[in-house]
Protein backbone atom coordinates (compact mmCIF):
# COMPACT_ATOMS: atom_id res chain seq x y z
CA UNK A 1 0.00 0.00 0.00
CA UNK A 2 1.40 3.38 -0.97
CA UNK A 3 1.86 5.88 1.83
CA UNK A 4 -0.07 8.60 0.01
CA UNK A 5 -3.10 7.80 -2.11
CA UNK A 6 -4.84 10.11 -4.56
CA UNK A 7 -7.46 9.71 -7.24
CA UNK A 8 -5.45 10.23 -10.45
CA UNK A 9 -8.40 11.69 -12.32
CA UNK A 10 -8.41 13.30 -14.82
CA UNK A 11 -10.81 15.92 -13.62
CA UNK A 12 -12.22 17.89 -16.55
CA UNK A 13 -14.08 21.01 -15.40
CA UNK A 14 -15.31 24.18 -17.09
CA UNK A 15 -13.87 27.56 -16.23
CA UNK A 16 -15.45 28.98 -13.09
CA UNK A 17 -16.23 25.61 -11.57
CA UNK A 18 -15.30 24.50 -8.08
CA UNK A 19 -13.29 21.30 -7.86
CA UNK A 20 -12.09 19.28 -4.88
CA UNK A 21 -9.25 16.79 -4.60
CA UNK A 22 -8.83 14.29 -1.82
CA UNK A 23 -5.86 12.42 -0.50
CA UNK A 24 -5.29 9.85 2.25
CA UNK A 25 -2.06 8.93 4.00
CA UNK A 26 -1.22 5.77 5.85
CA UNK A 27 1.55 6.69 8.28
CA UNK A 28 0.20 8.15 11.50
CA UNK A 29 3.65 9.62 12.22
CA UNK A 30 3.17 12.03 9.33
CA UNK A 31 3.89 15.53 10.54
CA UNK A 32 3.84 17.93 7.61
CA UNK A 33 1.43 18.14 4.73
CA UNK A 34 1.55 19.99 1.42
CA UNK A 35 0.00 20.36 -1.98
CA UNK A 36 2.44 20.73 -4.86
CA UNK A 37 1.54 21.65 -8.41
CA UNK A 38 3.31 20.14 -11.41
CA UNK A 39 2.82 21.42 -14.94
CA UNK A 40 3.42 19.06 -17.85
CA UNK A 41 7.11 18.15 -18.12
CA UNK A 42 8.05 20.67 -15.44
CA UNK A 43 9.28 20.36 -11.87
CA UNK A 44 6.90 20.28 -8.88
CA UNK A 45 6.33 23.58 -7.14
CA UNK A 46 4.86 24.17 -3.71
CA UNK A 47 1.25 25.34 -3.92
CA UNK A 48 0.50 25.49 -0.22
CA UNK A 49 1.14 23.88 3.13
CA UNK A 50 -1.78 22.25 4.93
CA UNK A 51 -2.43 23.02 8.58
CA UNK A 52 -4.69 21.29 11.06
CA UNK A 53 -6.88 24.36 11.33
CA UNK A 54 -7.29 24.53 7.56
CA UNK A 55 -5.89 27.33 5.47
CA UNK A 56 -6.83 29.41 2.50
CA UNK A 57 -4.80 31.17 -0.17
CA UNK A 58 -6.98 33.10 -2.57
CA UNK A 59 -9.10 30.61 -4.51
CA UNK A 60 -7.39 27.62 -2.86
CA UNK A 61 -8.43 26.05 0.43
CA UNK A 62 -6.66 23.13 2.08
CA UNK A 63 -7.97 21.01 4.92
CA UNK A 64 -6.39 18.34 7.09
CA UNK A 65 -8.19 15.71 9.16
CA UNK A 66 -5.59 13.92 11.28
CA UNK A 67 -8.08 11.49 12.79
CA UNK A 68 -9.11 10.22 9.36
CA UNK A 69 -5.63 10.76 7.85
CA UNK A 70 -7.22 12.74 5.05
CA UNK A 71 -6.17 15.89 3.19
CA UNK A 72 -8.21 17.94 0.74
CA UNK A 73 -7.71 20.78 -1.70
CA UNK A 74 -10.56 22.93 -2.95
CA UNK A 75 -10.17 25.20 -5.96
CA UNK A 76 -12.87 27.78 -6.48
CA UNK A 77 -13.58 29.73 -9.69
CA UNK A 78 -11.24 27.53 -11.76
CA UNK A 79 -9.05 29.25 -14.35
CA UNK A 80 -7.57 27.77 -17.51
CA UNK A 81 -4.17 28.30 -15.90
CA UNK A 82 -5.09 25.93 -13.06
CA UNK A 83 -4.73 23.00 -15.48
CA UNK A 84 -1.92 20.90 -14.02
CA UNK A 85 -1.25 17.85 -11.85
CA UNK A 86 -1.78 18.38 -8.14
CA UNK A 87 0.43 16.30 -5.89
CA UNK A 88 -0.48 15.50 -2.30
CA UNK A 89 2.69 15.39 -0.19
CA UNK A 90 3.40 14.16 3.30
CA UNK A 91 6.56 14.28 5.42
CA UNK A 92 7.11 11.78 8.21
CA UNK A 93 8.11 13.33 11.53
CA UNK A 94 11.46 11.60 11.70
CA UNK A 95 12.67 12.24 8.20
CA UNK A 96 13.42 14.80 5.58
CA UNK A 97 12.02 12.99 2.59
CA UNK A 98 8.79 14.14 0.98
CA UNK A 99 6.34 11.33 0.20
CA UNK A 100 4.33 12.15 -2.89
CA UNK A 101 1.05 10.75 -4.10
CA UNK A 102 0.69 9.91 -7.79
CA UNK A 103 -1.00 13.22 -8.43
CA UNK A 104 -4.44 14.25 -9.64
CA UNK A 105 -4.70 15.65 -13.14
CA UNK A 106 -6.91 18.71 -13.64
CA UNK A 107 -7.97 20.11 -17.00
CA UNK A 108 -9.95 23.34 -16.98
CA UNK A 109 -11.75 23.93 -20.27
CA UNK A 110 -13.20 27.15 -21.75
Partner 1 sequence: DTGVSQDPRHKITKRGQNVTFRCDPISEHNRLYWYRQTLGQGPEFLTYFQNEAQLEKSRLLSDRFSAERPKGSFSTLEIQRTEQGDSAMYLCASSLGGGGFDEQFFGPGTRLTVL
Is residue 46 within 8 Å of residue 61, measured between CB atoms? no
Q: Is 44 in the site for partner 1 (CB under 8 A)?
A: yes
Q: Is 1 in the site for partner 1 (CB under 8 A)?
A: no
Q: Is 16 in the site for partner 1 (CB under 8 A)?
A: no
What is residue 72's three-state secondary structure? strand
Q: Is 40 in the site for partner 1 (CB under 8 A)?
A: no
A 10 A CB-CB count for 11 gives: 19
Among 15, 29, 45, 109, binds partner 1 (CB under 8 A): 45
Is residue 8 within 8 Å of residue 103, measured between CB atoms? yes
Q: Which residues bind partner 1 (CB under 8 A)?
A: 4, 8, 32, 42-46, 49, 87, 89, 95-103
Amino acid sequence: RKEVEQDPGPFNVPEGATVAFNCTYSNSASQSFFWYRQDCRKEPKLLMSVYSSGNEDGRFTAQLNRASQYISLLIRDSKLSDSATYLCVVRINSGYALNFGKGTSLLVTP
